[in-house]
Each structure stands twice: as structure tokens, then as C-alpha cells.
Amino acid sequence: MSFRIKDVHKTKVAILPDPIQDDGEIKHTPITMEEMQKKQNRGVVKFVGRDCDWLEVGDTVSFYRNAATKIMNGEEELLEVDERHVLAKLEEE
């Protein structure tokens, strides 16, 4: 059975982490790719708790990775982070 996220706790955000960029020159093992994914600390906000002060759905953010909890939204893997552990909003130059 698969579940979809209805809401997140009042000060939490759910983030879709950016995919790991593979330059194609080095062949990575599945274990190496998993380790690289664990170090990823940037992504796009998909859900925002009702009491979050400064984040909105669609924001690209940098966050404290060790504070993230993996959650599933159907087949999509998201990371749940408390708003306090989001370090910065990012924008493209």
C-alpha cells in the first residue's frame, strides 16, 4: 500500500533533494551513489507546515542533512526537516 502526504507538522518542511549529478566519466557503484545521496544538502520544498515563517513551496534551499528524516510520498522519496535546520534559500544566478 502506498500513501501520499496530506500535511506536515507545523514547523516542518518536506524537501525533494536535488539529484546527484553524474558526469559520466567515472562509473559509480550503487554504494557510492547512495553515499553521495546521503551528503546531498540541497533541494526543493514540496510541503510546508502551517507555522513556517519564511519558506514556501517551490523554494530551493540548503539544509542541515543530519537533521533530515526520509519519508515517502507515494513513490517519491522526500526529506522532512524542521524549519530551523534550513540554512538558506537559494536562487540561480
Q: Assign 9 a pLDDT band (cuts: 50, 70, 90).
A: confident
Q: Residue 46, SS3?
A: strand
**Domain interval for residue 79:** 12-88
pTM to 2 decimal places? 0.78
Which pLDDT belongs to residue 8? 81
Cell of 44: 526543493
Cell of 81: 526537516
Tell whether 51 is covered by a domain.
Answer: yes
Tell whether 6 is covered by a domain.
Answer: no
- Residues contacting residue 61 through CB under 8 Å, at least 6 positions apart: 13, 15, 42, 43, 44, 45, 55, 86, 87, 88, 89, 90
Tell whether 2 is covered by a domain.
Answer: no
Q: Assign 2 a pLDDT band (cuts: 50, 70, 90).
A: confident
DSSP string computed for 54-79? S--TT-EEEE-GGG-EEEEETTEEEE
Tell whether 47 is covered by a domain.
Answer: yes
Domains identified in the chain, total number: 1
CATH code: domain of residue 49: 2.30.33.40
